[in-house]
Chains A and B, each alone.
Chain A
Amino acid sequence: MRLRERLSKLGGMKLLRGTKLTGELERLQDQLDRLREEPSAEEIWKSVELARHPDRPYTLDYVERILDDFFELHGDRSRVDDRAIVTGLGKLDGRTVVLVGQQKGRDLKERTDRNFGMPYPEGYAKAMRAMALADRHGFPLVTMIDTPGAYPGVAAEQHGQGGAIARSQAAMARLSIPTVACVIGEGGSGGAIAIAVADRVLMQEHAIYSVISPEGCAAILWRDASEARKAAAAFKPDAAHCLELGVVDAIVPEPEDGAHADPDEAAELLKAGILEALGEIDALEADERRRRRREKYRVMGVLASA
């Protein structure tokens, strides 16, 4: 791990820009200092808990704070409206963007209605419809990732869950428009990457992004789901590690104690991050932007030679 090296290259400034709103520079500097240290097992688990906190802001909580004039678009134009995925049009700082995000529910009724943020293949079809609309009109695409994973159910399989996730990634790889993905809670595996192949990927300080849930990993490798803490410490789903590994492009700071402690401030910080990311990619020619996007994913991974 070259965590500190990579983070020192960042100089921390990337994290600070655009966050002038509260003037709590000292606190942000604190966060940076903490980020420079490799997160401990306890800190990783704290992020797992904060990412799943029942009061954590969800996609629509950010939409109402970040986008003006939001108009929600429903349905996949084939079968159904998957409510675990929200799509719509809105104004970001006066400019029309398309929003695609997973949505969890707050109370039991809404949770069931939103299927706990776990999309069916129809949800990814809905997302792809919104992506195509954005591309057709040159609207930037902003995605928000917050899912334990794609739904593992009989009907979901019969309707082609694996293929839907693959095609959604392919659709994002083809887009001409600027794209920004934000991991705002749980970035759960294939269900997350399906809408996270973007020019810029932002990750909130206490979000997690992982190949499998801590419980799932523990059940397989430790043969005991209650060893989730150990599993999380081993596969490191926290933002600092994701940044270090080149999986995300920037970390968006959260209010002290986590995004749920102050959703308004969390939203302002996220908005600033999205605007900054868009600013970095806006001026590029569409072909060049797409080439860079693909190149970024093409080189991901760590290899050795025998």
Chain B
Amino acid sequence: MSSEPGRVDVEVESKRPAEPVDGKSHPNTCPECGSHYRDDELAQSLHVCPQCGHHFRVGARERIEQLADPGTFVEEDEDLRSTDPLGFFDLRPYTERLAEAEISTGLGDAMVAGRAEIEGRPCGLTVMDFGFMGGSMGSVVGEKFARACERAAEDGTPLVSVAASGGARMQEGILALMQLPKTVVAIEELHESGGSLISVLTHPTTAGVLASFASLGDVTLAEPGALMSFAGPRVVAQTTREKLPDDFGLAESSYRFGHVDAIVQRSELRPAVGQLLRLFDKG
């Protein structure tokens, strides 16, 4: 046990991640440097590794706590649930996967939506949760996002979107693909009403979510190290046999190529969004 507070892993200086057990490392072990933390330590550091700055994934509820002014978030459309329009069955039925995701995350689907204040400014807020079936977008995620656009237009407030998603939800088939244009037309209507969208991309934001609402913000922010490619690195490597650069699809690469306005450390996210909300205040 180290004497330094917040550190319990003696191998921290080795810069080598701990050996994964059963192919999966402990969720509190930093995949970059191998440091290991207690739950409360990670919560206190906003789930950013104090040793190397790696941004761990955070769930939707915790993200809202980090981002919204305390006590201001009011959830909407909490009751929306996915159905199984195709009777989808792979190795397990879709309905079973849904039930399991709901139990393990405590969420109705992969997005939490509502109204909040950030640094004293009212806004709409949608936050995705990668823990719910890989943050995949099916009918419910699309609907929650579209309704959030409509609420923001009605309220005359900007919408802040925090994405974390592997893409469209395969189990809803073509209807999942249709959530791309659904969210896109909702943003069009929001923009035409004079509304604005601040899009925050967190690890990972890929495929169908990147190819729809996450890419259409008036301002696009990304967290450090967030994978934000349309196709995942494995698919690209297998399909093209190209050698992938070390930073393939990461926020830093996307920033260099001009697809992101700023890379923002998690500890700076609330002030950055607050600043943008002030700047988009047309009153």
A residues lining the B interface (CB < 8 Å):
1, 150, 152-154, 156-163, 165-167, 169-170, 173-174, 189-190, 192-194, 197, 209-212, 216-217, 220-222, 230-231, 234-237, 241-242, 245, 247, 293-294, 297-298, 300-306
List the one stretch of B38-46, B74-82, B261-269 in contact with chain A. Answer: B74-82
Bound-state Cα–Cα, A302 to B143, Å: 9
B240 in contact with A152 (CB, 8 Å): yes
Q: Which residues of A contact B87 (CB under 8 A)?
A: 1
Given that A170-B188, A305-B81 are known contacts, is A300 also in contact with B207, CB under 8 Å in the complex?
A: no
Q: List 10 A-B contacts (CB under 8 A).
A: A157-B249, A163-B210, A165-B180, A173-B181, A193-B177, A221-B170, A236-B173, A237-B173, A297-B181, A301-B142
Q: Report B132-157 CB contacts with A as 1/0, cut-off 8 Å.
A: 00000011101100100000000000
A166 in contact with B184 (CB, 8 Å): yes
Given that A153-B240, A304-B82 are known contacts, is A197 also in contact with B211, CB under 8 Å in the complex?
A: no
State how many angstroms separate the Cβ of A181 from the closest Cβ of chain B: 11
Q: Does B34 interact with chain A (Cβ within 8 Å)? A: no
Bound-state Cα–Cα, A160 to B189, Å: 24
> A-B pairs with CB below 8 Å: how many?
210
Q: Which residues of A contact B177 (CB under 8 A)?
A: 189-190, 192-193, 209-211
B residues lining the A interface (CB < 8 Å):
78-83, 85-91, 108, 138-140, 142-143, 146, 168-182, 184-189, 206-208, 210-216, 228-231, 235-236, 239-240, 242, 244-245, 248-249, 253-254, 257-259
Given that A162-B230, A197-B184, A211-B176 are known contacts, is A304 also in contact with B81, CB under 8 Å in the complex?
A: yes
B236 in contact with A154 (CB, 8 Å): yes
Q: Which residues of A contact B228 (CB under 8 A)?
A: 162
Q: Which residues of A contact B178 (CB under 8 A)?
A: 193, 247, 297, 300-301
Bound-state Cα–Cα, A167 to B212, Å: 8
Interface residue SS majority, chain A: helix
State how many angstroms separate the Cβ of B45 from the closest Cβ of chain A: 30
B179 in contact with A301 (CB, 8 Å): yes
Given that A159-B257, A301-B138 are known contacts, is A235 also in contact with B88, CB under 8 Å in the complex?
A: yes
Nearest A residue to B80 via CB reads A303
Q: Which residues of B contact A220 (CB under 8 A)?
A: 170
B230 in contact with A153 (CB, 8 Å): no
B242 in contact with A153 (CB, 8 Å): yes
B211 in contact with A235 (CB, 8 Å): no
Q: Which of A211, A235, A301 contacts B208 (CB 8 A)?
A: A211
Bound-state Cα–Cα, A230 to B210, Å: 28
Q: Which residues of B contact A165 (CB under 8 A)?
A: 180, 211-212, 215, 230
A211 in contact with B170 (CB, 8 Å): yes
B215 in contact with A209 (CB, 8 Å): no
Q: Which residues of A contact B88 (CB under 8 A)?
A: 234-235
Q: Which residues of B contact A193 (CB under 8 A)?
A: 177-178, 180-181
